[in-house]
Amino acid sequence: MILVHHLRIGRSVFTVWLLEEMGLDYELKIYDRNEIGRAPPELKDAHPLGKSPVIEIDGFTLSESGAIAAYLIAHHDKDGSFAPPGDKPGWAEWTQWLHYSEASAFAPLLLKLLLSREQAPKPALISMFASGEIALQLGYIQDFLADKAFILGENFSVPDIGISYICHMADRLGELAPYPKLAAYLERTSSRPAFKRAMERTGG
């Protein structure tokens, strides 16, 4: 059995989404944030960093969304339907987009989230940097998406889970309106039955 340590209002819901897409059995241990939005100390019992997602699987503990996704696909994807393409360019593109959502794309949105909790006047340099980087990243995703249904083509793939996370976060922060293709993309991915099941089980 797979045990998922899930912190409410966080990215671990997207690990749960992947598990639902793959049809794997799992259990949830749910944690609530404190009054300032931090994880409770109990989460450090699962992992020293006290962050999520963290899963217990096959007798060991694994953290980091990209690593969890790669492990699940390598060892628990029964029919290979979630695996990256076999050719080198396809594999490279798939892997880039799998990790992009927690690398280049995430940092400016995190800065924006933290700034939203600051009283005015907000730090001007950080505000300008975050706004410029958010526009750069969302523009890059929208341009790459173009008229495709999903990030790598007409079929849903595992990198869409992370890119949807970025779009969800941008939407929560009021940054998605200038990007109609991303808003439509987010609606498509959020309408998937597996996503709805994940949201229902985790409470968001």
Q: pLDDT tens, 176-204? A: 999 999 999 999 999 999 999 999 999 86
d(CA 25, CA 12) in angstroms, rounded, equals 16
Least trusted range by pLDDT, from 123-127, 152-156, 174-178: 123-127
d(CA 59, CA 89) in angstroms, rounded, equals 34
Amino acid at 176: L
Interval 51-87: pLDDT, tens? 999 999 999 999 999 999 999 999 999 899 999 999 9
CATH number attached to the domain at 88-192: 1.20.1050.10
4, 19 Cβ separation under 8 angstroms: yes
Highest mean pLDDT among 31-35, 51-55, 138-142, 200-204: 138-142
Residue among 49, 73, 74, 77 at smallest CA distance from 61? 49
Provide the residue ranges of all domains of the chain, joining segments of one domain with +.
Answer: 2-81+194-202, 88-192
Q: What is the mean pLDDT of the chain?
A: 94
What is the architecture, at CATH level 2, of domain 2-81+194-202?
Answer: 3-Layer(aba) Sandwich (3.40)
What global pTM score does this model have?
A: 0.93
Per-residue confidence (pLDDT) for residue 155, from 0 to 100: 97
